[in-house]
Amino acid sequence: MEALSRNPQWKGRRGPVLLAIMDGVGYGEYRDGDAVAAADMRHFRALEASCPATRLKAHGTAVGLPSDEDMGNSEVGHNAIGCGRVFSQGAKLVGASIATGAMFEGRVWKELVANVAASGGTLHFIGLFSDGNVHSHIDHLSAMIARAAADGVRRVRVHALLDGRDVSSQSALDYILPFEAFLAGFNAKGFDYRIASGGGRQYITMDRYNANWDIVKRGWDCHVRGVGRRFASAAEAVAAYRAENPQLIDQDMHEFVVCDANGPVGTIGDGDSVVYFNFRGDRAIEITAAFEEENFDKFDRGPKPKVFYAGMMQYDGDLGVPKNYLVTPPAIDRTMGEYLAASGVKSMAISETQKYGHVTYFFNGNRTGKFSETLEDYVEIPSDRVPFEQRPWMKCAEITDRVIEAIDSGAYRFIRLNFPNGDMVGHTGVFQSVVCSMEAMDIQLGRLADAIRKAGGVMLISADHGNSDDMLEHDKKTKKVLLDKDGNPKAKTSHSLNPVPCVIYDPECKGEYERNLAEGLGISSLTATCLDLLGFVPPADYDRSVLSMKA
């Protein structure tokens, strides 16, 4: 990796460049349900009003997703911010692989099928059961099941992780009922295809960053061992849980195990094949470890079944996880972190557990580890293990404490941080908590601005996607708020399609660039912007900076 070229016209400021990523904070389309607009964010609004500012695209094709109807997410957002270019991402790659048939002609699919053919076993699919297109898409699952039938697989079991986060909060039956009808079509032809288990994504299976292995254990016990509350069908399970708690959202639903007169219909045993059909990596790595690692010590698995396991994609290229995968992920190279290390720039990345991997692994192009042990410091603040709506301030103050120490030390030229509040609290659907989370974060932005001013640095404030800016469901045609069966506004727990801020606080600016920032760009332009502010010439193939530097 070659070092970056210096900008002969400008060497940057005396203090560091701080990239502050307000995760899940955008500009809302609707007044009703916009927690960002409702919050007292006086520090951010003062900076926005007095500093160069613009809005950036953070969804759809701007971050490598198939269409502009696709919500952005933290994974692809941090990929784009970290590498300065747009790569085709998970959903797009998987869709193309299915459409061309490449997935089914590959070695891994053939081995999945051959394994159960030889053993008389079952082909299992585990994954997020929705069309949210952030971690998975139910159409991908349907296509694989149809192909399994064509390939003669007689027995299929689906382990459905309910969403309610990237889609409407109580939409589980909207997916389960049509899917059960879909499976019934195969059963009418003599196949044995069923939903076998499931539960909410925040309760079973889909933990990340080692935050709470109990979530993974509950998923393992449910999917593999058939341990959990028993029901005759997935639809019955959802109806029963909803009757007991009408306010329960899908992501928090407890586990269910589908049973018949003989017991659980779909435990995972020796000779079976298993596909984890999520394409996004962060919430796939831990359950993959439970299936693949021999010396696994996170919880007692009981006897580990001898299965052929595959992921939809490779979730960690450096660690080679999983060993087998159906679709090759994008090869993201020449990230900003790698360039800065090659250029001798001391940098720091920091967040709390919930987003630590985003400012490290995803920011570095899905790469585990540092580019330089001497030039990079990564700091993880442990997240609280409580529902986010109960601690909406999360760890933004602790993150800020460490960043201010880093600024004052003079040791770093570039610092990147992620405040998870807008995303993690936004996913709860609790409006009051989201407003609180925004105001807590804003206090920290004020503290950071003071530290940057004293140090003579620059703070670039932006986001990876929207969420907290769109907290109520709206009718797309009438723009009116949708109501639930009790006449209350329907909470929205998914990301938004809204643009995100780009604000440059540069208190020692001497007119080195135009105050009017470029418009119509995506968040991948933040990379070149940071390099401009550091006094480097961005690589020629990076998406352009929002800045227009003066000669």
Each residue's pLDDT, cut to its tens digit, for the chain (551 residues) gives 899 999 998 889 999 999 999 999 999 999 999 999 999 999 999 999 999 999 999 998 999 887 788 888 888 899 999 999 999 888 889 999 999 999 999 999 999 999 999 999 999 999 999 999 989 999 999 999 999 999 999 999 999 999 998 899 999 999 999 999 999 999 999 999 999 999 999 999 999 878 899 999 999 999 999 999 999 999 999 999 999 999 999 999 999 999 999 999 999 999 999 999 999 888 999 999 999 999 999 999 999 999 999 999 988 765 778 999 999 877 899 999 999 999 999 999 999 999 999 999 999 998 889 999 999 999 999 999 999 999 999 999 999 999 999 999 999 999 999 999 999 999 999 999 999 999 999 999 999 999 999 999 999 999 999 999 999 989 888 989 998 888 889 888 888 999 999 999 999 999 999 999 999 999 999 999 999 999 999 999 999 999 998 86
Six-digit token pair at 347?
Answer: 């940098």
Buried b or exposed e, range 314-339, using 16+ CB within 10 angstroms: bbbbeeebbebbbbebbebebbbbbb
Three-class secondary structure of residue 289 per DSSP: helix
Whole-angstrom Cα Rg for the chain: 24
For residues 198 and 191, give the distance between their C-alpha atoms in angstroms, rounded to a whole number. 21
Amino acid in the structure at residue 277: F
What one-character DSSP code corresponds to residue 247?
T
Please give the pLDDT value at position 308: 98
Q: What is the pLDDT of residue 71?
A: 82
Neighbours of 179 (CB within 10 A): 20
- Whether omega for the bond prior to residue 322 falls within 30 degrees of 0, making it cis, is yes
Q: d(Cα 149, Cα 185) in Å, to the nearest integer?
A: 11
Whether 74 is a known active-site residue: answer yes
The CATH code for residues 5-88+331-537 is 3.40.720.10
Least Cα distance to 187 among 230, 158, 209, 228 occurs for 158
Measured between its terminal Cα atoms, the distance across the chain in Å is 28
The candidate with the shortest Cα–Cα distance to 136, out of 166, 164, 105, is 166
Instruction: Give yes or no on whether 5-88+331-537 and 91-327 have one common fold.
Output: no
Is 157 within 8 Å of 224 (Cβ atoms)? no
pLDDT of residue 89: 81
CATH class of the 91-327 domain in this structure: alpha beta
Q: What is the pLDDT of residue 124?
A: 98
pLDDT at 327: 94
Give me the catalytic one of 50, 67, 74, 136. 74
| Residue ranges of domains in the chain | 5-88+331-537, 91-327
Burial 62-85 (b: 16+ CB within 10 A, else e): bbbbbeeebbbbbbbbbbbbbbbb
The predicted pLDDT at position 317 comes to: 62
Residue 318, pLDDT score: 56
pTM greater than 0.85 (yes/no):
no
Q: Where does residue 116 rank: exposed (0-12), middle (13-18), buried (19+ CB within 10 A)?
A: buried
Strand partners, 275: 125, 310
How far from 56 is each of 26, 47, 99, 266, 493, CA to CA, in Å? 9, 17, 31, 46, 22
